[in-house]
Structure 1
Amino acid sequence: MMNNQYSMKIYPAGRGRDIYRNIEICGNSTLNQLCQVILEAFDFIDEHLYEFCMDNRMYSEYTYQSDPEGDEPSADITLDEVGLCKGQKFSLHYDFGDDWMFTIRVSKISEVQENFKPRIVKSKGSIQQYPAWDEEDFDDE
């Protein structure tokens, strides 16, 4: 039985291309699990609501919700069920107060024998979820 492996590149929107994470995740993982690995990859604390915007726009109509109301689509759906394709871009909109947007690009879909836990394969740059106001930042101006 072969399984899909998705290779994805994730970068925080509006921060240029110098900050990103490459991850690999199995097709039977859920969008919720994808959110967890993205937050972990950027050292964010998982304590807010989120949605996946499948057309890559904030407050999109086409979303999967972490806390769906009524018959809204839930992020408790597997990547295979979402039907992702290579080259597709979608977004994680995290924390409806601070409105973090992470752009996710499916760079490759391959077949693997074994399921595995989502993993971070490359990291570049960093961002702070709650930037500290620090006097020292102004010293070298």
Structure 2
Amino acid sequence: MSETSTPVTYQLKIVLVGISPMIWRRIKVSSDLTIADLHYIIQIVMGWKEEHLHQFLIHGVHYGINYPGTGGFMGNAHEIKLSKFGFREREKFSYEYDFYSNWKHQIRVEAILPDESERVLPICTAGKGSCPPENCDLVK
């Protein structure tokens, strides 16, 4: 992992895998955000309420928020910034939410833009399709 020194803006496309028609969101986020921040943003843009466990798989390592009685994750998701990963354009990583329903998302870095700190970030710039409601076992 190589941390970028100057903040940049990541344009990310989040796709809920295995659903037709496709459900997706495009967001812009600062590289200064943490993994925990990204989780909360995904919850908002997908219309969920954070009722289930989740995890990211980035560069072969699982990351998430540690809760009592759950398995541990690498590091503290509230402290690990996205800039630590040194993402490149077209790079992909995954996000899984609700392990029972197995809602897997592919996240693709569509663009790495200059710092947009003068703009309000994060921002959802596009998307399509309504996400399944919480506790809905449609995705397998």
TM-score interval, normalised by the smaller of the two chains:
0.7 to 0.9
| Deviant stretches of 4+, over 4 Å | 68-71
Asked if structure 1 preserves the Cα contact closer than 8 Å seen for 2:21 and 2:129, the reply is: no
1:119 is matched with 123
TM-score w.r.t. the length of structure 1 is 0.77
Aligned match of 2:74 in 69, 72, 75? 72
1:22 equivalent to 2:22? Answer: no
Give per-residue Cα distances to partners, 1:21-51, cap 9 Å, x unaligned.
Answer: 0000000001111111111111111122211
Q: Secondary structure at the match of 1:129?
A: coil
What does 1:43-58 align with in structure 2 at a 5 Å threshold? 43-54=47-58
Q: Distance in 2 between matches of 1:71 and 1:33?
A: 16
Q: Distance in 2 between matches of 1:40 and 1:17?
A: 21
Q: Tell me: CA distance 1:43–1:113, structure 2 relative to 1, closer, same or farther (3 Å).
A: closer
Greater Rg over alpha carbons, structure: 1
Q: Secondary structure at the match of 2:44?
A: helix
Q: Tell me: CA distance 1:16–1:87, structure 2 relative to 1, closer, same or farther (3 Å).
A: farther
Q: Tell me: CA distance 1:8–1:129, structure 2 relative to 1, closer, same or farther (3 Å).
A: same
Q: CA deviation at 1:70?
A: 5.7
Q: What do you get for the CA RMSD once the two structures are aligned?
A: 2.5
- Aligned residue pairs total 127
Q: Distance in 1 between matches of 2:73 and 2:53?
A: 17
Asked if structure 2 preserves the Cα contact closer than 8 Å seen for 1:51 and 1:75, the reply is: no
1:84 equivalent to 2:70? Answer: no
| Identity value in percent | 28
Deviates more, 1:8-17 or 1:123-132: 123-132
Q: Letter of the aligned partner of 2:23 in structure 1?
A: I
Q: Secondary structure at the match of 2:131?
A: coil
1:128 equivalent to 2:132? Answer: yes
Q: Distance in 1 between matches of 2:116 and 2:10?
A: 13
Give per-residue Cα distances to partners, 1:99-140, cap 9 Å, x unaligned.
Answer: 2111100000011252643111102111213449xxxxxxxx
| Structure 2 gap segments, 5+ residues each | none
Q: Letter of the aligned partner of 2:102 in structure 1?
A: D
